[in-house]
Amino acid sequence: MTALHRTISLIPWYQLLNSLLFWQAVWFLYFQANLSGAEAIILYSVYDVATTVLEVPSGYFSDRIGRRPTLMLAAVCSALGCLALALGGSFAIFALGQCLIGAGAAFKSGTDSALLYEALEASGRGTEIEVQELRAWRFSLAGFAISAVIGGGMSLWAPALPFYATAAAFVLAFALVIGMAEAPRKLDQIITLRSQLGALRIAFLNPVLTWLFALTVLMYAFSYLPFVFGQPFILAALESWGLAAEAPFVSGLVTSTMMIVSALASLVALQMRRALGLPLLLLFAFALQISLSAALALSTSTLVIGVLLLRIVPDSLSYPFILARIQPLLEDSTRATYLSLKSLGGKVFFAITLLFAATTATGAGLLPVDDLQRILGWYTLGGLLCLSALAFTARSIPIALPQNTE
């Protein structure tokens, strides 16, 4: 029991270390400087494909083998991937590094949250899940904020330094996992592929899990829209300010500020959940994401950077509560697999919509502003239709927690 309490206290620090991605604000510039702009885009795709391909197998691995071994493997893959990127030398080495980092992200996805919930439940603290998820989320945001601005400064001194620093953070994360304990599994619980598929089928027949699955898939896509389509606006703003040479540091500063704003939002998230109720808060968070896309579709001014600072706020108001609501409804044998399927659904849906959006763009070279705004306008319209459908169906589904976790 003492070991489980220690695990609960260590998980936020584990999330902090995993969020110390010192390269997050400079990775494209680093790749482009060593290879080319086209190869840098391809390398991002390599990471995305690796994460997507391993998303569900990693969840299955976690459910069958265990949470701690899976998180250890995630830390090892991520650290080796960062070292490969730091050493570089050829496109093949960079691609290997991206594959390893993608594998690390896939093995961590869902397993960290599953470990936290199962430790809370086994130690008789299951009602703390919302509070503990929020705490871990804040530590993650703090890691992103700290590493973004520091990493931007590091790159001005030595371009590869942010990758070495991130590798060191993953080594420390590995050490933390060694000190954790996993909740004991039930002796009568025999996990087979057939039993897992049966449990997953039951999960997707649960209207609450189905509704939350649809919401998280949509919110994943709308969370990344400002990240993808906001870049042209930021680039134009930096050029107009004459800050092109300081792009790495400025990019890190913008990302850091974004995380700080989101961390502040998380401080009032629990109070908002209690005041509004879970369904209304989740719908509000999704509506806020749609509003950000609408703002990008309507404006090309530098003020859009201020709008981008709100990008992670909807996640702060929804992500911890979605996990807290999902966990008690899942079997231990399929918990990580379900969470991995949820992540996979968001990635695939976003990729499909982006592919469709790309086919509607005209011209060559840089994406014209008119095309950009038209695409975001269609996303906004689609988002409003989905929001209406979710709001309508939520009236007949018990989305709210059966009892308050105050």
Quick check: 130 pLDDT over 80? Answer: yes
Quick check: 406 pLDDT over 70? Answer: no
Contact, 255 vs 144, CB < 8 A?
yes
Integer-rounded Cα Rg, in Å, for the chain is: 21
The identity of residue 16, as a single letter, is L
Q: Which two tokens stand for residue 335?
A: 């918990």
- Residues 6+ positions from 115 with CB-CB distance below 8 Å: 7, 11, 67, 68, 71, 180, 182, 183
Give the residue extent of every domain in the chain. Answer: 2-182+190-394
Which candidate, 225, 227, 229, places its Cα nearest to that of 350? 225
**What per-residue confidence (pLDDT) applies to 10?**
96
Quick check: 382 pLDDT over 70? Answer: yes
CA–CA distance, 203 with 191 (Å, rounded to integer): 16
**What per-residue confidence (pLDDT) applies to 196?**
64
State the average pLDDT over residues 131-135.
92
Q: Which two tokens stand for residue 366?
A: 């840089």
The CATH number of domain 2-182+190-394, selected from 1.10.1740.10, 1.10.3720.10, 3.50.50.60, 1.20.1250.20 = 1.20.1250.20
Quick check: 367 pLDDT over 60? Answer: no
pTM beyond 0.85: the answer is no
CA–CA distance, 24 with 252 (Å, rounded to integer): 8
CA–CA distance, 286 with 281 (Å, rounded to integer): 9
Quick check: 164 pLDDT over 60? Answer: yes
CA–CA distance, 389 with 344 (Å, rounded to integer): 22
- Residues 6+ positions from 24 with CB-CB distance below 8 Å: 144, 147, 148, 151, 252, 255
**What per-residue confidence (pLDDT) applies to 76?**
97
Quick check: 22 pLDDT over 80? Answer: yes
Position 302 confidence tier, pLDDT thresholds 50, 70, 90: low
Quick check: 17 pLDDT over 80? Answer: yes
Position 315 confidence tier, pLDDT thresholds 50, 70, 90: very high
Lowest mean pLDDT among 241-250, 280-289, 315-324, 378-387: 241-250
The rounded percent of the chain whose pLDDT value lies above 70 is: 81
CA–CA distance, 385 with 374 (Å, rounded to integer): 17
Which candidate, 379, 358, 212, places its Cα nearest to that of 291? 379
State the average pLDDT over residues 279-292.
95
Contact, 258 vs 309, CB < 8 A?
yes
Position 221 confidence tier, pLDDT thresholds 50, 70, 90: confident
Q: Give 357 or 77, the one with higher predicted confidence.
A: 77
**What per-residue confidence (pLDDT) applies to 322?**
92
What is the rounded average pLDDT for all residues in the chain?
83
Q: Give 361 or 183, the one with higher predicted confidence.
A: 183
Q: Give 405 or 401, the one with higher predicted confidence.
A: 401
- Residues 6+ positions from 5 with CB-CB distance below 8 Å: 123
Contact, 91 vs 64, CB < 8 A?
no
CA–CA distance, 304 with 309 (Å, rounded to integer): 9
**What per-residue confidence (pLDDT) applies to 110?**
85
Quick check: 249 pLDDT over 90? Answer: no
